[in-house]
Amino acid sequence: MIESFVQSVNQVSRYIIPLLLVGIPFYGLIFKKVKVYETFVVGAKDGFTIAIRIIPYLVAILVAIGMFRASGALDLLLSFLSPVLTFIGFPPENLPLALMRPLSGSGSLGLLTDLINQHGPDSLIAKIGATMFGSTETTFYVLAVYFGSVGIRKTRHALVAGLFADAVGVFSAVYICRFFFG
């Protein structure tokens, strides 16, 4: 039953973007007599300025993340933490992914690919990894892009809250998978 639901949800999602692209101008043009072409161009202009505006923020964040990753500091942290993790039932194999996820989308996807290849998609470790990947976000990237686009430099509690949510997502992934598949 779940399978067919997942299938149909994925089917529906294929049509959403094309339907939005045609449905919104349709509504505007036919019902509201909006000059859709001119209006589109006015809105589209902002795409350029916003993309350019986020560059300094992206450079700042991505350079710091890149330096941290390349140094091997993550492996060092892993060796410190793995005894504690084993104790609380958190597979140490999943830790690099959990730590990488808020930092880098491509980096964490690489780690997930590696986990699935090494342990097979039917293993608990792969299932935990995939669940983690789907339930957390690249928090640093999102914050840099979103705040950067409007020039906000004092981000207050956004980062703490985002990282807390990631941590909850990661631990939920571990324990729900252990409950279902463990």
Partner 1 sequence: MLNYIWFGMMFIGVVVGIFTGNIDAVTAAAIDMAKVAVNLAIGLIGIMALWLGIMKIAEESGLIRLIAKGLRPITIRLFPDVPEDHPAIGSIVLNMSANILGLGNAATPLGLKAMEELQEINPDKDTATNAMCTFLAINTSSVQLILPATVVALMGATSSQIFITTLFATGMSTIAAITAVKFLEKRKQFIIHSGGNA
- Confirm if 93 and 119 have CB atoms less than 8 A apart: yes
- Confirm if 69 and 103 have CB atoms less than 8 A apart: yes
78 binds partner 1 (CB under 8 A): no
- Confirm if 63 and 70 have CB atoms less than 8 A apart: no
The long-range contacts involving 79-87, CB below 8 angstroms and separated by at least 24 positions, are none
Q: Is the dihedral of CA 147, 152, 158, 160 positive or negative?
A: positive
124 binds partner 1 (CB under 8 A): no
131 binds partner 1 (CB under 8 A): yes
Q: Which residue of 68, 84, 86, 118 would you call a contact of partner 1, by CB under 8 A?
A: 68
130 binds partner 1 (CB under 8 A): yes
State the minimum distance, in angstroms, from the CB of residue 114 to partner 1: 10
State the minimum distance, in angstroms, from the CB of residue 84 to partner 1: 20
Where in 134-173 is the site for partner 1 (CB under 8 A)? 134-139, 142-143, 145-147, 149-162, 164-169, 172-173
> From CA 174, how far away is CA 91, in angstroms rounded?
8
Where in 79-118 is the site for partner 1 (CB under 8 A)? 102, 109, 112-113, 116
Where in 13-32 is the site for partner 1 (CB under 8 A)? 13, 16-17, 20-21, 24-25, 27-28, 31-32
> From CA 79, how far away is CA 63, in angstroms rounded?
25
- Confirm if 114 and 122 have CB atoms less than 8 A apart: no
State the minimum distance, in angstroms, from the CB of residue 91 to partner 1: 14
Q: Which residue of 95, 97, 125, 126 would you call a contact of partner 1, by CB under 8 A?
A: 126
| Single-letter residue type at 135 | S
